[in-house]
Amino acid sequence: MTGRHAAVSVRREQSATRGGRMDPVRTCVGCRARASRSSLLRVVVRDGVLIPDEKAVLPGRGAWVHDTPECIDNALRRRAFVRALRVSGPLDTQTIQHIHQRNG
């Protein structure tokens, strides 16, 4: 689907939240499933280091992933963060791996 039809489809997939406002839909880079933005974790690159952006306010391009061991491991294994964040060269993923292991 492209063009206008794709935009209509995305709007239909957005889930309603309090007050009738729509919650944006993002795609998890780990499992490729679409989910509401509020149910995903945003990840950004700062100085070559992959870090979680829990409040989704850090500047720059972000990648969205479910905060589960399966999705984070899939994204790391498939190098999905490198592609989604459009960085050249290797990323330091130890920070996100350490935080993820500590939390779950």
What whole-number distance in Å separates Cα of residue 37 and Cα of residue 99?
20
End-to-end Cα distance, the chain: 37
Question: Each residue of 88-100: pLDDT tens digit?
Answer: 888 898 888 887 7
What whole-number distance in Å separates Cα of residue 33 and Cα of residue 58?
23
Question: Each residue of 4-56: pLDDT tens digit?
Answer: 544 444 444 444 455 677 899 999 999 999 999 999 999 999 999 999 999 99
Do 39 and 28 contact (CB within 8 A), yes or no?
no
Do 56 and 21 contact (CB within 8 A), yes or no?
no
Q: Which CATH class is domain 24-103?
A: alpha beta
